[in-house]
Amino acid sequence: MKDIGGVPDFIEHWGPQPFRRLGYGLVAASLGSWYLAHLSELNHIMPALLSTITAGYWYLGLKDLGQKHQALRSNFPVLIHIRYLLESIRPEIQQYLVEPDDVALPFSREMRTVIYQRAKGLPDTRALGTKHDVYAEGYEWAAHSMFPKHVDEATGGRVTIGGPDCSQPYSASILNISAMSYGALSGPAVSALNLGAQRGGFYHNTGEGGISKFHKMGGDVVWNIGTGYFACGETLPGGKRRFDPTLFEKNAKLDCVKMIEIKLSQGAKPAHGGVLPASKITEEIAEARDLGDGPHTDCNSPPHHSAFKSPWQLMRFIAVLRELSGGKPIGFKLCVGQPHEFAALCHAMLETGTTPDFITVDGAEGGTGAAPLEFQNSIGFPLAEGLTIVDSLLTGAGLRDRVKLIASGKVHSGFSLVKTLSLGADVTNAARAFMFSLGCIQALKCNSNTCPTGITTQDPALSSGLDVASKSERVSNFHAATVHSALEIVGALGLESPTEIKRSHVYRRTSGITAKDFNRQHSEFFPLIYKWQSGILLDDIDAVPEYMRRQWLKGKELHERMRNQEVVAMPGGVPADAPMSAYDKQALETFRKYDTDNSGDIDATELRSALDDMGASRDVNVAALLKKYDSDTNHSFDVVEFTKILKQVQVSGVLS
């Protein structure tokens, strides 16, 4: 009995012998056609065409039979190429003929359409109501007010970034271009994005590939520094890269560079590095990355940084970059992995007194970096959970007011922007949405150098088709329309500013008959620490939900263990090649002066001598300092504790 829905019998019975029989038949038909043409019974084009088909059939079939690597080609010569053809056009068939409007794989037709319309300045309204099933699980909405407000776009759409140690704060838009490197994107694409950012008054993140000439078209730039230290490093033998403070200072002080972002990880491939082969390093890429004159070796971007290896070294590195840049905002970007590791960063901030001006939280749904499938699909926290963890730990540590949070993860519309702000973000970034505004058709060829729209390719034949002037206008249009939509929603909620958005303003349906606002969406594994609980991890940790308390204590243990390992590693507590600010260098020299036995610690008597020699008031209570700063309770101070004491004494005004 024949299986219903199976393949036709002739395909199952196909093989080398049927291939040859059909081939012999084609040869006979070709010869017969030439005879008929000779008798003027057939047009001469037909035998030529049939002979060409026959020759191609035999060439392809014999090639299939002769190879040894693919069983399908050996068993189904010629015929198997129909399968390969269908596989190659499957994405296009799926997108144009099969895909419904509301399936986001990775961006739905509806998402892309509204971006295209807004980028082109076309009407984006819809008729006959929503196409979404409002009773389906996962449906989300914002709760409007009976008393809507008007939000001033000139002020409501801006956020000032810069903590207490920043001397050049930056006013950022609530929507900006996320990190995408030149090299991953073509020169015309980067130029159009940068000009669009200039027109619209928002920033453009360089990605970790350095600052190219295409980033210097006039738009504000956030310089992303990855593990390869491009445009701020030097290449060592073997292709390894090392941070170069002199080169960093030169580029950090460019007028276009408004903020600097240290990349710890990204959502598309958390904890995964990469190598740029020497064969792909063009003159323009070498210039953007400050690789110097060729010949070039493979350019390595490992999964980890070499300039710092622990939370407290990261804080010192931030202080160094802030000093070298002339006081510009310094932050870092990460996709959250293990929550206690972020808690360790918070402990390092508290201990060193140094905080980043901003933290960019990248969701695992990020997608502009080419990455192995497992890293794209199964590594890292999605944005909602990752942002909740970061916001809660900073709040619980009493640090949230010093640090602005930037979030990136499929922001593409006014509602998605508002939803992201409700989760705790101050500012949002978008990458793929701005690619769509450039004309991306989601062909899914970003990593093949054959992008048909010229956006993610270095092939000049393709990238030359992207008109910078018109595309930059579309980038600006999309930004303006999306921010306008978001601020309209903010006003509809009865609020006067995006800073007033709370999790309780946005709801998600959890089943056909129940729904929860985002305040109640968190599970026992990701409980919130609310703004009114600022500092609770320090003042009343027993009142903190068990999961967050466990992460906080585990983070403290990790921070202290890593710091103490480094302190023991050499007297003075700082590796010889660790980047340090001028203040830290002075503190280290002072510490080493009084650490007479090179033990890596000074006791209370030595601290008293140091403070006296520096002109501190005798009113300074060393016993109180010991109680407050002796975190490991060994009745002495290491270099980190000593540096923090000096800062505290100076702030109190008792040290000249």
Question: Looking at the domain assignment, is residue 69 inside a domain?
Answer: yes
Question: Looking at the domain assignment, is residue 106 inside a domain?
Answer: no
How many C-beta neighbours within 10 Å does residue 67 have?
A: 11
- pLDDT tens by residue, 633-653: 667 777 777 777 776 665 444
Q: Specify the pLDDT at position 303.
A: 86
Q: How many domains does one find in the chain?
A: 3
Quote the percentage of the chain above a pLDDT of 90: 53
- Pair 325, 229 in one domain: yes
- Pair 179, 52 in one domain: no
Indicate which CATH number applies to the domain containing 604. 1.10.238.10
Tell me if 422 sits within 8 A of 518, measured CB to CB: yes
Mean pLDDT of 78-86: 90
Mean pLDDT of 330-353: 95
Tell me if 265 sits within 8 A of 335, measured CB to CB: yes
Among 354, 355, 378, 351, residue whose Cα is nearest residue 365: 378
DSSP labels, 361-379 = EEPTT--SS---HHHHHHS
Question: Looking at the domain assignment, is residue 95 inside a domain?
Answer: no
Determine the Cα–Cα distance for residues 313 and 575; give it in Å rounded to an integer: 10
Question: Domain ends where: 56, 88, 120?
Answer: 88
Question: Domain ends where: 45, 72, 88?
Answer: 88
The model carries a pTM of 0.80
| Domain housing 296 | 141-434+481-533
Provide the pLDDT confidence category of residue 570 given band limits of 50, 70 and 90.
very low
Provide the pLDDT confidence category of residue 291 given band limits of 50, 70 and 90.
confident
Question: Looking at the domain assignment, is residue 409 inside a domain?
Answer: yes
- Pair 257, 388 in one domain: yes
Least confident segment among 202-216, 263-277, 583-597: 583-597
- Pair 523, 608 in one domain: no
**What number of CA atoms fall less than 13 Å from residue 537's CA on the CB side?**
30
β-strand pairing of 257-263 with 220-225: parallel
- pLDDT tens by residue, 538-548: 999 999 988 89
- Pair 354, 419 in one domain: yes
Q: Specify the pLDDT at position 524.
A: 53
- Pair 520, 410 in one domain: yes
The mean of the pLDDT values for the chain is 86
- pLDDT tens by residue, 182-237: 988 999 999 999 999 999 999 999 999 999 999 999 999 999 999 999 999 888 87
